[in-house]
A and B are shown apart, each in its own frame.
Chain A
Amino acid sequence: MTFWDQIDYAYPEIFLALAAMGLLILGVFIGDKGSREIGFGAVGILIIATFLTGFNGSADRVSIFDGAFAIDSYAVFAKCALYLGAIFAILLSDRFLVREKLQRFEYSILILLAVLGMSIMVSATDLIAMYLGIELQSLALYIMAAFNRDSRRSTEAGMKYFVLGALSSGLLLYGASLVYGFSGATNFAAIAEGAAAGGNNIGLIFGLVFMVSALAFKVSAAPFHMWTPDVYEGAPTPVTTFFASVPKVAGMVLFARFLVEAFPSILDQWQGVIALMAAASMAVGAYSAMQQTNIKRLMAYSSIGHMGFVLMAVAAGNNEGVSAMLIYMTIYLVMTLGTFALILSMRRPEGMSEKIEDLSGLSKSDPARAFMFTVLFFSLAGIPPLAGFFAKFFVFLAAVNAGLLWLAIFGVLMSAVSAYYYLRVIYFIWFKEPVASFEKQTGAAISVTAWSSTLFMVLGLITLIGPLRLLAEKAASVLF
């Protein structure tokens, strides 16, 4: 394959990079007053990039740039989810940034560049490509966390995220150098060959544990979750929306590909590590969220818990597990975007409110919004027949079939415990005396996102689960 033939396969990434730079130059000329238009431009770019992925990647993998970049149905599935999630994240931010006087045109450009990094992550089949993709993504995210630079909380969030993120990058590099040293290769397929060759694998496993720790940090799985609540609370809410949804998908997809493609022969070695992390995340998510009074912190712990369930699917380490992971992440993406759209609509004339108590009596002051909140929180808790239940169902099924019965039982227990704090929010909404109501005008983007997410949760069972499952299974089959 010549160089130009290879380029043909990387169109979405090349287009994203060039378009982001073009938009940046445009932004410099227009200035911050044009940041809305730049945002719409970014949405347009992401739509085009989604079409450029071709939606339906070929089941045969095309590997370019000396095996560093793979185009297969797995990567294409993830890319479509990432681009569509980022579109909603940009649209949701619009009104908030205007009202909080945070209009900077760089905002949507940073999202584009972060998405470019994630796009490289989900296609990476080489340690170097993986590291560079993660860095491109995280660097953009650090800046976004500190986006409200005049707020102490936001800068603190950015600083905390940056320092801990740099530490985890260090762990990743250290682990990668050990893996390279003991397998003699940076390419996933070649590492798998080296690991399968047998002999003493202790060095390889040592490196693998470091890399798993770093990746767990990126998807905020316990015990590497400490940064999550503070960063989610401190960052501006639209940024939190983005953090909680899109990068999680990229991180998880990379996590699964890395483990399954590079270390299939030592599955029994890493399965226990991932299973323990899954159990720890589910427990942390379930118990720590109970005392929270701030809804953004609550969502942070909720996302830690969800990552635990996803890791359970990854721990299965087979075709079924990976496809359950993809289904879970897709449903999680939709749920999170919908929930955060509602959180972004919690606004009184005096400013944004983030307290759970502020939701008291929402059923009387705004029944429609109360209904959406209820459906989405029931879905987050995994109550049938909403889509969130099916996400968990496939994960449990995969874990049981892979012989991780204890983990599945633990997961069901933790799911029941975590239902407590979701139901507590719903209790506030329906059974408490009303407090001052929120502004009625929320803007089209927020209501459309919230309504479509709610509809997806309700109707997901009869309409979308089937096709989604087929797509996910096709995507996952590439890895095996």
Chain B
Amino acid sequence: MNFAEIMFYIFATLTIGSGLMVIFSRNPVHSVLFLIFAFINTAGLFVLMGAEYLAMLLVVVYVGAVAVLFLFVVMMLDIDFAELKGGMVKIAPLGVPVAVALLVELGLVVGTWAFPKNAELARVHPYFTGAETSAVLDGPNNTEALGLILYTDYVHYFQIAGMILLVAMIGAILLTFRERKGIKKQDVAAQVGRNREDSYEILRPASGEGIKGKGA
């Protein structure tokens, strides 16, 4: 057993273990923390496969953003998990057979899986060179390889993905932004345009009468 294999078994065991803990831990916050742990271990598995870019992406996006968001949701929303679990018992008579049927179907599908020969892959995939199934040390690294095709062959998809993000942004603003009236804002032009004449006046109050007029 070499080092990579040992690391594989460590990461794989921890991933499966923490994946189970996500489901079985009673405290939802612990579930999310185990989910984060599972993500990090999966990132380790990706590194072993030579997909270091995907590994870093997993850490940045899933651990950094998605899981933290989960944590927020779980902590902010007061969800009664005992009640949710009670509902599960009620639908179990229907749910379990459906789940079993789906599992059997999936088993049948996966059972027919055959890895294609290199020649077949090359026929349907113009970029296939045969080296993709293992990490190549002297080739371009992941990030370079992605960059080489992302802005050339895949520019079409890249641009559509950009448009989708634009729509998401418009939607978020359209559905949640409300212009509030009567809040105090800084108006730089008004501040700069303020001059001496508008700003003060000299009053000469008569004795015993106090101040009357503009400044009062």
Contacts and interface: CB of A to CB of B under 8 A. Distances in A.
Interface of A: 3, 17, 21, 24, 65-66, 68-69, 104, 106, 109-110, 113, 116-117, 120, 128-129, 132-133, 135-136, 139-140, 142-143, 146-147, 149, 158, 178, 181-185, 187, 190, 193-194, 200, 202-203, 206
A202 B156 contact: no
Given A139-B167, A139-B171, A143-B170, A185 B125 contact: yes
Interface residues of B, number: 29
B124 interface: yes
Question: Which 8 A-B residue pairs are closest in the complex by CB-CB distance?
Answer: A143-B171, A65-B156, A185-B124, A132-B160, A190-B124, A184-B124, A139-B167, A206-B109
Given A113-B163, A200-B112, A203-B112, 9 more contacts: A17-B159, A24-B170, A113-B170, A117-B163, A147-B174, A182-B113, A184-B116, A193-B124, A206-B109
A65 B156 CA distance: 7
Nearest to B152: A3
A300 to B, nearest CB: 23
22 contacts: A3-B152, A65-B155, A68-B157, A113-B163, A116-B163, A117-B163, A136-B167, A140-B171, A142-B171, A143-B167, A143-B170, A146-B175, A149-B174, A178-B109, A182-B112, A182-B113, A184-B125, A193-B124, A200-B112, A202-B112, A203-B112, A206-B109
A116 B163 CA distance: 9
B138 interface: no
B104 interface: no
Contact of B166 (A66, A113, A184, A202): A113
Contacts, number: 85
B161 interface: yes
B189 interface: no
B27 to A, nearest CB: 27
B121 A184 contact: yes
Interface in B98-114: 105, 108-109, 112-113
Contacts of A182: 112-113
Contacts of A24: 170
Contact of A21 (B113, B155, B156, B166): B166
B164 interface: yes
A132 B164 contact: yes
B50 to A, nearest CB: 21
Contacts of A106: 170, 174
Contact of A143 (B112, B116, B156, B175): B175
A136 B125 contact: no
B120 to A, nearest CB: 6
B153 interface: yes
A200 B120 CA distance: 16
A68 B156 contact: yes
Interface string B143-155: 0000000001101
Contacts of B124: 183-185, 187, 190, 193-194
Given A65-B156, A104-B174, A143-B174, A181 B113 contact: yes
A427 B57 CA distance: 63
B126 interface: yes
B140 to A, nearest CB: 20
Contacts of B126: 66
B23 interface: no
